[in-house]
Structures are given as C-alpha cells and as structure tokens.
C-alpha cells in the first residue's frame, strides 16, 4: 500500500497561517489581560525609581481584574474579580479617573479611610509623619539645572524607596487634609515637586483613584533607553540603550 502526498493549495496554506496568527494573538491577549502588561514611562514624575524611557512590566493578578484589565476598558462589568487591596507604598498603574484612555503610574500613599496631609513637603498619614531620611543633594536627571534633595521613605514591608524634593514652598508641599473615600486610593509621584497626582483635584490632576481603575502593580524595569532614543531612529535603539537599568526590580 502506498500513500500519496496531496499538495496544499494556496488557499489552504493561507487558512493555516491565519489560524496560527489568530492563536498567537489570542494567547498574547490572554497573557496581557490575565498576567502581565508592558508600559513605557513618558514623564519624570516617578523619578528616581522610574526614568523617562523605562519599559516596565506590570502584573495584573496582584489586585484582581476589572474592566480596565482589558484593552480599551470595555464596560463589561463593574468592580473587581478576585479583588485584593494594594499595599501602601506600591507603585500602581491606573486609568485616570477623568479620562479612561489615559494611563498613569504613581506611588500609593493612602488607603480607604486614611487621612492624608502634606506639610513642608513631608507626608502625614493619619496624623503621623512618614519618616524620611535625607540622602544628600543631586541634580534632577530630568532637569540637570535643578538640584533636589533625596529622601529615603520606608514601606510597611521594611524596604524603602527614594523621593526627590526641591526647596520648600512648591505647589503641593502644604495641603489640606484629604480623607480617602471608601473604594478609592490616594497616590503621589516620587518626584514630589514634578508630579500631578492626588494632591490636585480630578479636573487638574488625579484626585482619588477608584479601585476599579487599577490596572496592576509595577514589578520591574525590563528595558530602558536614555534621552534621545526614538522609534524612528533605529540606530538609537542600541546607542541610547541603558543596560544598567535592564531587569531592575521596583521597590
């Protein structure tokens, strides 16, 4: 008994290729919705932890899933599935309350029910000052003509992160007392004098962030490029690549 090879037609080959591409796209979508999503940092508001040009990975499963876990945030349901509360000090990615098409990344400072106030540039949570240890003055990486003081601030897990603060008297250095509503969070940028965040009302900054707007937790910097890199200038992909920041875990 002999077997005969039936040649594939162009149509059948096209269908097989289309099926393979569709399966790959579906797998990528599932991974993006359920597990991880990449983001590029567009501003200096989270310096020094995150620099403009960092390419970060955000985990979706830390806080559960909402409609904002899905690309384009379709209004399929409200609330979160298997929702878990973030921890104070987490670096969170969320959709801007006033414009769901805009994604922000900030440090989570206040939990529901917390009373948050900033006085003289220092954060107070429920009447207690957040300790901060001065680390010395440096030049702001995003504005070399500006000098900033570095402060180490602790997280509940014992680790710490570094914030930037310019001289006193900048907008946001002295605020009213904010009472974080139920189901919302209060966020700030680590570059305290160069960040529009929850210290400003929703119409101007961020305001309070609804829990369902959380996309996920920023986990690590996968890749990074220095200033001057451009997708339209392929040679800068290598020349401006910053290997020192690649695969750096975020505190």
DSSP track, 208-232: SEEGGGEEEEEEEEEEEB-TT-BTT
Is-catalytic flag, 45?
Answer: yes
pLDDT tens digits along 147-184: 999 999 999 888 999 999 998 889 999 999 999 999 99
In the set 45, 66, 69, 195, the catalytic residue is: 45
> 52, 60, 106, 217: which is the annotated catalytic residue?
106
DSSP 150-165: EEEEE-TTS-EEEEEE
Known active-site residue 106: yes
The predicted-structure confidence for 18-75, as pLDDT tens digits, reads as follows 767 666 666 555 666 667 788 989 889 999 999 988 999 999 889 988 888 877 777 8
pLDDT for the residue 32: 61
Beta strands in the chain (DSSP E): 36-40, 54-59, 91-96, 99-110, 115-119, 122-125, 128-129, 133-140, 143-154, 160-165, 178-179, 184-188, 209-210, 214-224, 248-249
Across the strands, what pairs with 56? 39, 221
Confidence (pTM)? 0.84
């Amino acid at each position: 008994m002999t077997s005969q090879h039936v040649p594939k037609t162009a149509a059948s080959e096209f269908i097989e290729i289309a099926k393979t591409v569709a399966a790959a796209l579906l797998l990528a979508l599932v991974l993006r919705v359920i597990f991880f999503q990449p983001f590029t940092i567009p501003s200096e508001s989270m310096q020094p932890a995150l620099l403009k040009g960092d390419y970060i990975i955000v985990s979706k499963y830390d806080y559960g899933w909402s409609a904002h876990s899905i690309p384009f945030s379709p209004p399929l349901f409200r609330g979160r599935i298997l929702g878990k509360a973030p921890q104070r000090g987490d670096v969170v990615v969320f959709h801007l309350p006033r414009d769901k098409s805009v994604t922000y990344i900030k440090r989570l400072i206040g939990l529901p029910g917390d009373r948050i106030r900033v006085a003289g540039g220092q954060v107070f949570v429920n009447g207690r000052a957040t300790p901060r240890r001065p680390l010395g003055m440096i030049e702001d990486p995003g504005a070399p003509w500006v000098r900033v003081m570095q402060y180490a601030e602790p997280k509940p897990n014992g680790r710490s992160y570094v914030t930037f603060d310019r001289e006193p008297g900048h907008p946001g250095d002295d605020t009213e007392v904010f009472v974080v509503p139920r189901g919302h969070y209060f966020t700030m940028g680590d570059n305290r004098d160069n960040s529009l965040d929850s210290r400003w009302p929703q119409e101007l900054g961020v305001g309070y962030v609804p829990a369902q707007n959380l996309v996920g937790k920023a986990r690590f910097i996968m890749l990074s490029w220095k200033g001057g890199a451009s997708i339209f200038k392929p040679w800068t992909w290598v020349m401006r690549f910053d290997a020192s920041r690649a695969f750096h875990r975020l505190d």
